């Protein structure tokens, strides 16, 4: 992590991941909340969340405050 802090050209994304299940429901609910703007994204499936993260980490893709 110290090398990450010393670099002036790194990118990172920080999220709070929440997983919960409503009473009587089998399916888990998922959300990511940005730590800076507090924007929340909801996902219906773990696969949908994984696709979002895969897209976010693609090379040469510009992202604002996701």
pLDDT digits (tens, 9 = 90+) for 16-62: 999 999 999 999 999 999 999 999 999 999 999 999 999 998 887 56
Model pLDDT for residues 4-25, shown as the tens digit of each residue = 566 667 788 999 999 999 999 9
Q: Is the pTM of this model over 0.85?
A: no
Q: Which residues contact 44 (CB under 8 A, 6 or more apart)?
A: 30
Where do the structural domains in the chain lie, given as residue ranges? 15-56
Would you say 22 and 42 are in contact if contact means Cβ atoms under 8 Å apart? Answer: no
As a whole number of angstroms, the distance between CA 1 and CA 59 comes to: 21
Pairing type for strands 29-34 and 15-20 reads antiparallel
């Amino acid at each position: 992590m110290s090398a990450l802090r010393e670099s002036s050209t790194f990118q990172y994304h920080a999220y709070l991941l929440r997983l919960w299940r409503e009473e009587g429901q089998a399916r888990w609910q998922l959300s990511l909340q940005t730590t800076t703007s507090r924007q929340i994204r909801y996902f219906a499936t773990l696969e949908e969340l994984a696709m979002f993260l895969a897209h976010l980490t693609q090379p040469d893709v510009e992202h604002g405050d996701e």
